[in-house]
């Protein structure tokens, strides 16, 4: 995880203010650096004009044997600010070491490729297309800013799902700012920031900037290059098409643990997890510390990840399970005089304890540290403004509820236990991990929300497919950038195994009957191959996988939104709606 800042101005070099600097350095505590490029040109008025391009980067180093500082300056003079994980570049072996230099070399090679004779604007657009094609070869999440010094073009963008944060704003005096975090500049309104859309590669021709403040830096876009069907040629796009298979087989069998789809999902999840956990740098520490944690509600998605991570992560390594519960005055006031710990009554704490106990039984050789993160109401209020600042430009009550849960869960301070029993005596624990696994994405891919069941009940498979289409289409426009800003504040990186490119491609191509159990016919006890056939239809392929892996109780767990499971929703009043803007 890294922090990125870039500013382009004709008035003066612009650097992050003290607060923005603090937020950037929280994201990347291992290294920081700055650089500046100055461009001289003749403005449309005929007068000489200077353009200042400033870069500031911070680094959380997770791969390789050492820290590669940023901004990264190549031998050609080009500058890269990279916040991502390139697990692989198409046509090459998987990247096991630091990826910053590999990405810089890839982009530099495209920047140096000669263009056919054509107008400046056409040549710049062709170069941008070549850059977009190069980035389409990268497997993994990213946000980046890249200055092509040979051609004076500034590129910036996010991966097709927007898994890393990148924000943009134009100041009243015409400067262009791109940053991982929202922050005030010289006291100006921070709400002017907006998310860089995860729909392509953006670029600015620095030689063609005008003098009109409203259009001083014109931002252009090249759409993503999605993978074509069929065999992939070396160097082709790895971005899967987000076009959902809407065909309904005329006949289909009930999903159970023997179904081919369950086997396919298992293999794809294992491959995805290997990419995300096998090359985490593990410095020697005394006493030994964990290097992997899971944002753990005890629900289906995160527990399946924990169970499969056990199979591929060294058994002598501890895995932390971060479980957060909040004191909600509206809910807990009835328990204030009792002897019961109100945090232990939170739905996610109950399922978390139960799933932890199942993991201990099924994976006895692993040391699982269950971290019970209890957040008093006073502490929630004390950090409220910081959470609001981090999640900007998002600003609804639901944003705050979700981000509060992620903020304290990723902070990783709680009471630890390595058994399923309540921890007595209490042992305070701060996780030392830098990598957090999240189950985000499973509901969208496999029909896990209640609205999916509602859509099927109302309009059959057509209604269900329409709802899934909406969710998949919104994946890159939802809240991954927001969540990234909140989680990364603690110098940790969230990784999303369900959003792996290969897994996503399979989920898009598989018929809905291989993912959900909606529409399955009734079956008698005598007709069943195994009891997994009776699991509820939402995310049934994942439920069957949990059953196959020995997590039968987890396979039966119902979906519950984080803000309700951790009880961050409607803390101050029960009459607010999630869509209500913060005052």
Active-site residue list: 2
Q: Is the dihedral of CA 440, 441, 446, 450 positive or negative?
A: positive
Could you give the angle at which helices 300-312 and 260-277 cross, rounded to 10 degrees? 70
CA Rg, the chain, in Å? Answer: 25
Parallel, antiparallel, or unpaired for β 493-495 and 435-437?
parallel
**Do 165 and 209 touch, CB atoms closer than 8 A?**
no
**Do 483 and 552 touch, CB atoms closer than 8 A?**
no
Could you give the angle at which helices 480-488 and 397-411 cross, rounded to 10 degrees? 40
CA 190 to CA 288: how far, in whole Å? 42
CA 325 to CA 347: how far, in whole Å? 9
Q: Which of 548, 414, 390 is nearest to 479 (CA)?
A: 390
Token duo for residue 324:
């957060």
Q: Give residues with Cβ within 8 angstroms of 392, minimum separation 6.
A: 182, 190, 191, 193
Q: What is the 3-state secondary structure (H, E, C) of 72-102?
A: EECCCCCEEEEEECCCEECCCCCCCCCCHHH
Residue 51 burial (CB count, 10 A):
21
Token duo for residue 313:
């992560």
Is 505 strand, coil or helix? helix
Cα-Cα-Cα-Cα dihedral of 59, 494, 161, 185, to 10°? -50
Q: Which of 182, 152, 245 is nearest to 19 (CA)?
A: 182
Strand partners, 50: 40
């Amino acid at each position: 995880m890294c922090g990125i800042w870039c500013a382009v101005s004709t008035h003066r070099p612009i650097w992050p203010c003290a607060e923005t600097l603090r937020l950037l350095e929280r994201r990347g505590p291992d290294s920081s650096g700055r650089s500046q490029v100055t461009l001289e040109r003749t403005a449309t008025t005929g007068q000489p004009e200077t353009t200042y391009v400033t870069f500031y980067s911070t680094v959380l180093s997770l791969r390789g044997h050492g820290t590669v500082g940023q901004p990264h300056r190549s031998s050609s003079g080009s500058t890269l600010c990279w916040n991502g994980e390139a697990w692989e570049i198409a046509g090459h072996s998987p990247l096991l070491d630091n990826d910053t230099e590999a990405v810089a070399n890839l982009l530099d090679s495209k920047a140096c490729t000669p263009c056919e004779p054509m107008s400046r604007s056409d040549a710049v657009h062709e170069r941008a297309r070549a850059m977009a094609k190069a980035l389409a070869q990268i497997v993994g999440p990213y946000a980046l800013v890249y200055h092509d010094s040979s051609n004076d073009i500034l590129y910036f963008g996010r991966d097709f799902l927007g898994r890393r944060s990148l924000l943009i704003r134009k100041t009243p005096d015409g400067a262009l700012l791109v940053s991982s975090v929202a922050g005030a500049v010289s006291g100006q309104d921070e709400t002017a920031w907006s998310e860089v859309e995860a729909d392509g590669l953006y670029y600015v021709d620095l030689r063609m900037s005008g003098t009109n403040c409203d259009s001083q830096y014109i931002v252009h876009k090249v759409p993503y290059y999605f993978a074509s069907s069929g065999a992939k040629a070396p160097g082709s796009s790895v971005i899967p098409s987000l076009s959902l298979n809407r065909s309904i087989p005329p006949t289909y069998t009930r999903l159970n643990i023997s179904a081919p789809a369950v086997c396919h999902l298992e293999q794809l999840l294992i491959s995805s997890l290997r990419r995300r956990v096998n090359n985490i740098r593990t410095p020697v520490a005394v006493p030994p510390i964990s290097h992997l944690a899971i944002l753990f509600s005890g629900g289906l998605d995160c527990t399946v990840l924990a169970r499969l991570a056990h199979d591929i992560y060294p058994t002598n390594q501890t895995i932390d399970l971060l479980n957060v519960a909040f004191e909600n005055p509206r809910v807990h006031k009835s328990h204030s005089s009792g002897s019961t710990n109100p945090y232990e009554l939170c739905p996610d704490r109950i399922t978390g304890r139960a799933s932890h106990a199942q993991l201990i039984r099924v994976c006895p050789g692993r040391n699982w540290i269950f971290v019970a993160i209890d957040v008093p109401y006073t502490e929630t209020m004390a950090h409220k403004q910081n959470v609001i600042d981090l999640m900007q430009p998002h600003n609804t009550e639901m944003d705050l509820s979700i981000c509060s849960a992620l903020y304290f869960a990723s902070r990783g301070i709680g009471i630890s236990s390595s058994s399923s029993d309540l921890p007595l005596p209490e042992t305070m624990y701060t996780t030392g991990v830098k990598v957090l696994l999240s189950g985000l994405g499973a509901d969208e891919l496999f029909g896990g929300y209640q609205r999916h069941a509602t859509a099927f009940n109302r309009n059959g498979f057509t209604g269900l497919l329409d709802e899934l289409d909406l969710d998949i289409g919104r994946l890159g426009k939802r809240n991954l950038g927001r969540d990234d800003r909140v989680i990364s504040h603690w110098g940790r990186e969230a990784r999303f195994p369900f959003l792996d490119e290969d897994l996503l491609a399979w989920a898009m191509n598989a018929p809905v009957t291989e993912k959900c159990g909606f529409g399955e016919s009734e079956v008698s006890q005598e007709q069943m191959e195994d009891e997994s056939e009776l699991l509820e239809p939402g995310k049934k392929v994942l439920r069957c996988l949990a059953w196959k892996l020995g997590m039968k109780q987890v396979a039966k767990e119902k979906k519950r939104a984080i803000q309700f499971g951790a009880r961050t929703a409607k803390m101050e009043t029960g009459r607010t709606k999630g869509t209500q803007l913060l005052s």
